[in-house]
Amino acid sequence: MALEFRYSDKNPSHPISFIAFQAMHTRIEILLTGVEQSVGRKLAATIEQEVKSMERRFNCHDERSPLSVINLRAAGEAVEVGDDMFMALELCEAFRRTTAGCFDISTDTAVAGQCSYLLDAKRHTVRFQREGVRLDMGGFAKGYALERVRQIIADAGVETALMNFGNSSVASIGHHPYGEWWAVGVEHTLERGQMACEVHLRSSAMSVSGRSTDGRYHIINPSTGGTVAAEELILVEGRSALIAEVLSTALYAAPKTLRADIMSRYEGYKATEIYCRKGGGVELREIGNK
């Protein structure tokens, strides 16, 4: 899908730039208000370029990507990586530790409590702990890219924006021009088009994990290697789009008994289990911070 850019000044007080493109196996939509058309158009090109660049770097299915090089060689040798990749791997390891292993970019069955790769900060290298390790950074990359896009937009001086990465990850700058927040409805899983709950974003982000809208279970349980078959949705809200993304994935994969423990490490983030019932009913259970 080609880059889509639309500009509307129907409301002269709040002209809108709308940007959409396909990347990271999803549709990315960005709405900016209060910028001139030329600025919006330029941002559209910059953002698409940046996201696609990240997609290339973190795509384990592209054999030319830096991540594929790691997957191919790191079991046998320490592979030197760029700053960006090194920092990403550091972050992923921090997330693994702080989510009781429930967020893990290793796609093999992890050894409990252990990281599957070693990082050497001096040499900027990564080496796998054993044969058969393969890293998939898809879950990380989307949140990371969203965070990066938010930064690009903020650096351009935009004060009002909403970024939607495939409906499951949404981040905002400022608030709706006619409200105190951006109101985003989370869709009911059984009654399409109905709203299960509403999230208010104000310079904050949200992420939702659960079954795909086509009914597939796709989140991997790091401890078993199989897909997680939970029926509830996990909604996480907080300042960072990346952390919200990581937490929603980790909490969905985590046993229910572990979820509150995980959340206790993330001050300022709110997580909610959403149980959708037939006929449109909804039960919301907040996962408590200790």
Residue ranges in contact with another protein by CB under 8 A:
6, 8, 10-11, 13-14, 16, 18, 20, 26-27, 29, 31, 33, 162, 164, 166-168, 170, 176-179, 183-187, 189, 192-195, 198-199, 206, 208-214, 218, 233
CB of 6 to another protein, least distance (A): 8
* Complex with another protein: residue 185 or 225, whichever CB lies closer: 185
Rounded Cα gap, residues 20 and 3, in angstroms: 6
Each residue of 59-74: b (16+ CB within 10 Å) or e? bbeeeebbbbebbeeb
Please say which residue, 110 or 145, places its beta carbon nearer to another protein.
Answer: 145
Bridge partners, residue 183, by sequence: 200
Q: In terms of CB distance, is 3 or 119 closer to another protein? A: 3
132 vs 179 by CB, closer to another protein: 179
Minimum CB distance to another protein, residue 10 (Å) = 4
**Residues forming beta bridges with residue 227, ordered by sequence position:** 220
Per-residue b/e over 2-23, b at no fewer than 16 CB within 10 Å?
eeebebeeeeeeebbbbbbbeb
Q: How far apart are CB 123 and another protein at their closest, in Å?
A: 38
Contact 44, 2 (CB under 8 A): no
d(CA 170, CA 165): 6
Calculate the alpha carbon distances from 39 to 52, 80, 151 in Å.
20, 37, 15
Decide whether 104 or 237 has the Cβ nearer to another protein: 237
| Shortest distance, position 29 Cβ to another protein, whole Å | 5
Residue 182 to residue 257: CA distance in whole angstroms: 32
CB of 290 to another protein, least distance (A): 27
Question: Minimum distance from CB of 128 to another protein (Å)?
Answer: 30
Provide the token pair at 202: 């104000």
7 vs 261 by CB, closer to another protein = 7
CB nearer to another protein: pick between 96 and 176 = 176
CA 17 vs CA 20, 244, 250, 256: distances in Å: 10, 26, 34, 41
* CB 68, min distance to another protein, A: 24
* Residue 209 phi, psi dihedral angles, 5° rounding: -125, 150
Spatial strand order of the sheet with 205-209 comes to: 4-8, 16-23, 26-33, 160-165, 169-173, 205-209, 233-238, 270-276, 282-287
